[in-house]
Structure 1
Amino acid sequence: MLWPPVASSSVQALWLALLALSSGATALAAEPSTVEQRAREDLDRQLQALVKTPPPEVVITYEGLPGAGTSRAYKLLEVDFLLNGQPLAVPGLDVLSGPGVHRLAALKVDEGSYTLVSRVTYTNDAWNLFSEESGFLWKMTASVTFQAQKGLRMRVRVLPAINPTAPDPRLKLKLSHDVSAEMTAPLADATLLAETTDAGSAPVAKVTPPPVTPPPVTPPPVTPPPVAVTPPVAAGRDAPEQGPVAPGRLSLRVLVGKKPVAATAFVRGKGAPQRVLLEKGARGPSQVMVPPGEYTVDVMAKGFLAQTRQVKVTREKESSVSFVLAKAPAKKAQQAQVKNERVELPKLPRFAEKQAAPRKGSTTAMALLVDMLVRDESLRLKLEGHTDNREVPASARQSLSEARARAVADVLVRAGLSPSRIESAGLGDTRPKAPNLIPRGRELNRRVDIVLVRGK
C-alpha cells in the first residue's frame, strides 16, 4: 500500500483501518469478500478527499523597456498595477526603470477569475530640437484576465515595448501582457483559461495534468495547509472590495464602408482609459475585457472624422460597438471654423416656420462637431436656439427656440456624444442675425448657434 501525499491524524487512522482490513483478508480467505472490498474502496475515497492540493499561485513580473540608457532613452515616470481592483505594492521606479525582469508580486490566492490592469507612463528623456518625441508622454493602460486554479502557478508578464515603425509618435510605445501556467503539484483533470485583452486577440490554453501518483509509504510529518493571502494594499490608499471581480466583454469593430480599417480606440470609464489598436483588414471584432459599468468609446483614424459611443458593459452579455468612419474634409471651406468661441459650420441646421426639428438633410455637418469634441476632452457645447419675429406669437417664441436647441442636442447625443457635454438654451427672437423684413432674413434667423465652453 502507498501513503498519500499529505497526512494528518484522521488520515493515519483511516489508513490503519485499511491496513487492518487488508491483513485480515489474507487470514480468512485468498480473495477478499464483497463487503471487505467495498469497505476498502470507501476508505480509499475518504483518504483521497483528505489529500490537500496546493492553492493557486500568481507571480507577476515587469520587463523593463529596452533602450534605457541609450541615445533614445525612454524614462519611466509612473506605474500602477491593480489586481481585481486592488492596488499592488511594487518596487520603486528606480528598480522598474532598469532593463531586465522585475518581480511585482508573488501571491497565494483563492480559485477564481482575476483581472490585472497595468498603467505605466513613459517619457522620451533625450532632448532633441528636431525630434517630435522629445518630452512626449506615453500614458498606456492594458489589462488581462486569467483563471486561477488549485495546483497551478499563473505567471503574468507585463511587457512594455517600442514600435519602431509606428507612423504616429503616440503609438511609438505599446503595453501588453503574457500569461502562462505551470503545475505546482499533480492535479487531476485541471483546466486553465487565460484570456488576453491586449489589442483584441484572446488565446485559450487548456492544461490537463497527469493523474495523482502517491509517493512511497513513508508517513510525512503533519503540515498545515498553506493559508491563502490577498494582494497587499499600497500605502495611502483605501482597500477596495475584496474578492474576484468577473469582467465584462466589449466587442469593437471599425469600418470604412464594409472593410475594417486601422484605428485607435480609447475605452474611457472606470480607471484610466484603455487604448486598443485595431488592425486594417481584421477578420473579426477586437475584444476588450473591462469591469462592468458605463463606458465612452472614442475612435480615431488618420484621414477620418473621429467618432464616439456610449455603451454599458455587463457580465451577462457581450456588448458590441461598431463604427463606420467618414473621411475628414480636405478643403478648409468644408471644415468647422472657430471664431470668438463660436463654431461656424459649412452647413448649419435649417428650420421650417413653426417647426422645432431641423429640416431633413441639414444636420450632416454635426459630424464635424463630434470630431472636435472627441479630439479635445476639455470642450463642451452650449446650443442657443432662435426664431424669427413672425412665425409664432411672441408668447411662444421662447419655448420654440428652446425646442430647436434641444432638437440639435438630440442629434449630437444620437451621434454618440455624452449629454453631460451639451447644454441648450432658447433666446426667442431677441438676437436676429438678419433683417426680418424679407423671407431670406427670417430663414437665417430660424437657427441654432453653437458656442464652445472650455474646461471640464
Structure 2
Amino acid sequence: MLWTPVAYSSVQALWLCILALVGATARAAEPSTVEQRAREDLDRQLQALVKTPPPEVVITYEGLPGAGTARAYKLLEVDFILNGQPLAVPGLDVISGPGIHRLASLKVEEGSYTLVSRVTYTNNDAWNLFSEESGFLWKMTASVTFQAQKGLRMRVKVIPGINPTAPDPRLKLKLSHDVSAEMTAPLADATLVEGQDAGAPPIAVAQVTPPVTAPPVTAPPVTAPPVAGTKPRESPEQGPVAPGRLLLKVLAGKKPVAATAYVRGKGAPQQVLLDKNARKPVPVMLPPGEYTVDVLSKGFLAQTRQVKVSRDREASVAFVLAPAPAQKAKQPQVKNERVELPKPPRFAEKQAAPRKDSTEGLALLVDLLVRDETLKLRLEGHTDNREAPATARQALSESRAKAVADLLVKAGLSPTRIDASGLGDTRPKAPNLIPRGRELNRRVDILLVKGK
C-alpha cells in the first residue's frame, strides 16, 4: 500500500488515537500484544474507510522524429507481448508518425508484469550502392519488468531512438523502455463516521471510480425514505454509483485459454487479460449499462456478446472458442465487398430458415466483424423463379435475409451492424432451368460495408 503525505499524517493521527484507547490495558499486557492488537484495529478501520482502485497499465509508443520526411526510417512491423499475451495495437500508419501514440490501456491484477517489444525499421532512402544503410533492416527487441500495485497507474513508454554517432550501422537504431507511476485517485478529507470521536482528526479517504477487477461489491447504504410529496434528488456527496459485476470465462473445449477481452460500453473501451490457468471466471466491475464484449485469442476465431450489467444481479458471459481454419480454402474470401464463405447457408425450397448443416460458416463472418469494428453487413435474400408465386417471392427473400441476420445476432453481433433486404428472383446466380441452378439461386448474399 502506497501513501501520500496527507494520507500518512491522517493514518498517524488515527494510530495515536487507538494507542490512547488501549493505553489502560497496555500496562497489564505485553508490548508486542498491545502493538499487534492496535495494528489489527487500525487495518480494519482503514480497510473500511479507504478504497483503492485496481492497478492500471498504460502502454505508449514514441514514433521516431522526422517521420514522413524523405530521410526518415520506415516502420515495417511491431509486436508487443505482455506476460505472454499479444496486445492488439493500432496500425503502422498510426504509430509510425512522430509523437506519443497509445498502444493499450489495461486494468490488471496486482503482480509482476513483463512487456516484450519487437519492432522492425528500414531505411526510407532510395537504393544507393555506396550506402551502408540501403536496404538494411533493424530488428530490435527490448523487454522491461515492472510491478503493478493497487492505486497506481503504471505508464510504460516504448522508445525507439537514433544514435547518429554509432560506428556500426547495425547500432544506428536502438529500442528502450521508460516506466513511471502515478496515483489513480486523489485523496480528500472524509466526514466523521458515526460513532467516531469528534475530537479526533478526520481520516483521509480515497475518492475512487468503480474498478474493473475487484472483490464482490458490498450492498449500498440504506437511506431514509423520502418525505411524502417531495421528489428525491441525488446529492453529489453520495459519491459514485455502485458498480455491477460481470463474470468472464473463456474456454477452448473444456480448458481455459489465454485471451484478451475488450469491453465496450460506457466510457473508454477496457481490455481484460485472461490467463490460460484461470480456473474460475474473472470478475469485472462496471457501471450499470449495456456492453459489448469481444474476445480474441491467437489461433481461435474471435467472438462477441451483448450483455447488460446491473447492480441487482450478477451478469455472466462464457465463450467457447473454435479453432481458426489454417487452410486458405476454409477461410472466407472478400472480393469487391462481397464475402464468399466456404460453406454458405443453403435453403430448401419455399423455406425461409437455412438448413442447420449449412450455418457453421457464419462463425467466420462474426470473426471478421469482431476484428474490424468499422464494418457492417448488408444481407440480400434471393429465391428461384419457381418455388413460390411471383407475388410471394419478394417476402420469402426478405425472410431468408432476416433469418440469417437473426442467427448472427444470436451469435452476439449487434443488430445495428446488420441490414437485411430481399430481391426476390430478380438476380439469379445460375440458370433456373435445372434443379442445381435453382438451388444456387436460393441464397443470401453477404456484403461488407464501412460504417460511418
TM-score by length of 1: 0.57
SS at match of 1:132: strand
Q: How does 1:159-170 map to 2 (within 5 A)?
A: 159-161=154-156
- Is structure 2 residue 249 aligned with structure 1 residue 253? yes
Shift of 1:122: 2.4
Tell me the residue number matched to 2:412.
416
Instruction: Tell me which amino acid in the other structure corresponds to 1:132.
Output: V
Distance in 2 (alpha carbons) for counterparts of 1:395 and 1:126:
64
Q: Provide the residue aligned with 1:132 in structure 2.
A: 78
Aligned with 2:317 (options 321, 334, 338): 321
Alpha-carbon distance change, 289 to 177 in structure 1, aligned in 2, over 3 angstroms? farther
Change in Cα spacing, 1:308 to 1:315, as seen in structure 2 (3 Å) is same
Name structure 1 gaps, 5 residues minimum.
6-55, 59-110, 145-154, 164-171, 205-238
Instruction: Give yes or no for contact 1:261–1:279 (8 Å, CA) kept in 2.
Output: yes
- 8 Å Cα contact 1:385-1:448 kept in structure 2: yes
The amino acid across from 1:123 in the alignment is: Y
Report the counterpart of residue 306 of structure 1 in structure 2.
Answer: 302
Q: Deviations over 1:147-195 (max 9, x none)?
A: xxxxxxxx832223479xxxxxxxx9999988999999998799x9999
Q: Displacement of 1:141 after TM fit?
A: 4.7
Aligned with residue 425 of structure 2, among 425, 429, 432 = 429
Q: In 2, distance between residues paired with 1:394 and 1:271?
A: 50
Q: Deviations over 1:75-105 (max 9, x none)?
A: xxxxxxxxxxxxxxxxxxxxxxxxxxxxxxx
The residue type equivalent to 1:366 in the other structure is: L
Q: Distance in 1 between matches of 2:332 and 2:403?
A: 20
Which secondary structure does the structure 2 equivalent of 1:364 belong to? coil
**Partner of residue 267 from structure 1, selected from 244, 263, 267:** 263
Bigger radius of gyration, 1 or 2? 1
Structure 1 residues 22-47: Cα deviation after superposition (integer angstroms, max 9, x where no partner): xxxxxxxxxxxxxxxxxxxxxxxxxx
What residue identity is the alignment partner of 2:102? L
Which runs of 5 or more structure 2 residues have no equivalent in the other structure? 1-12, 14-44, 66-72, 80-94, 110-149, 159-177, 198-202, 218-234
Which residue is equivalent to 1:11? none
Letter in 2 for 1:344: E
Mapping of 1:14-53 within 5 angstroms?
none
Distance in 1 of aligned mates of 2:77 and 2:184? 32
Q: Which amino acid in the other structure matches residue 107 of structure 2?
A: A
Provide the C-alpha distance between the structure 2 equivalents of 1:176 and 1:414, rounded to a whole number of angstroms. Answer: 42
Superposed displacement of residue 240, structure 1:
9.3
Percent pairwise identity: 60
**How does 1:174-189 map onto structure 2 within 5 Å?**
none
Q: Offset at 1:354? A: 0.4
Q: Which residue in the other structure is 1:123 paired with?
A: 61
TM-score normalised according to structure 2 size: 0.57
Residues 351-390 of structure 1 aligned to structure 2 (within 5 Å): 351-390=347-386
Structure 1 outlier segments of 4+, above 6 Å? 111-119, 172-190, 192-199, 239-242
Which letter does structure 1 place at the counterpart of 2:436? R
CA distance in 1, matches of 2:412, 2:263: 13
2:331 is the alignment partner of 1:335: yes
Q: Secondary structure of 2:407's partner?
A: helix
> How far is 1:281 from its partner?
1.7
Q: Summarize the Cα distance change of 1:328–1:438 in structure 2 as closer, same or farther, 3 Å threshold.
A: same
Matched, 1:348 2:294: no
2:107 is aligned to 142
- 8 Å contact kept, 1:194–1:203: no
Q: Work out whether residues 115 and 247 of structure 1, in 8 Å CA contact, stay in contact via their aligned partners in 2.
A: no
Q: State the partner residue of 1:286.
A: 282
2:402 counterpart letter in structure 1? R
Pair 1:158 & 2:153 matched = yes
Assess, with a 3 A threshold, how the Cα gap between structure 1 residues 138 and 57 changes in structure 2: closer, same or farther: farther
Following the alignment from structure 1 to structure 2, what is the Cα–Cα distance between the partners of residues 124 and 241? 41
Distance 1:176 1:253, change over 3 A: farther
* Cα deviation, residue 347, structure 1: 0.4
Q: Secondary structure at the match of 2:353?
A: coil
Question: What residue number does 1:445 align with?
Answer: 441
Q: Which moved more, 1:175-184 or 1:301-310?
A: 175-184
1:401 is displaced (CA, Å) by: 0.1
1:362/1:406 CA distance change after superposition, 3 Å: same
Q: Deviations over 1:207-249 (max 9, x none)?
A: xxxxxxxxxxxxxxxxxxxxxxxxxxxxxxxx99973210011
Q: Residues 199 and 316 of structure 1: is their aligned pair in 2 closer, same or farther, counting only changes over 3 Å? A: closer
The aligned runs of 1:58-77 (5 Å cut-off) are: none
Over 3 Å counting, the alpha-carbon distance change for 1:196 and 1:323 in structure 2 is farther
- For residue 317 of structure 1, report the CA deviation from its aligned partner: 1.1
Give 1:285 deviation, angstroms.
0.9
User: Number of residues paired by the alignment?
Assistant: 299
Q: Does 1:400 align with 2:396?
A: yes
Distance, in Å, in 2 between the alignment partners of 1:125 and 1:57 is 44
> Residues 177 and 410 of structure 1: is their aligned pair in 2 closer, same or farther, counting only changes over 3 Å?
farther
Quick one: which amino acid aligns to residue 451 of structure 2? Answer: G
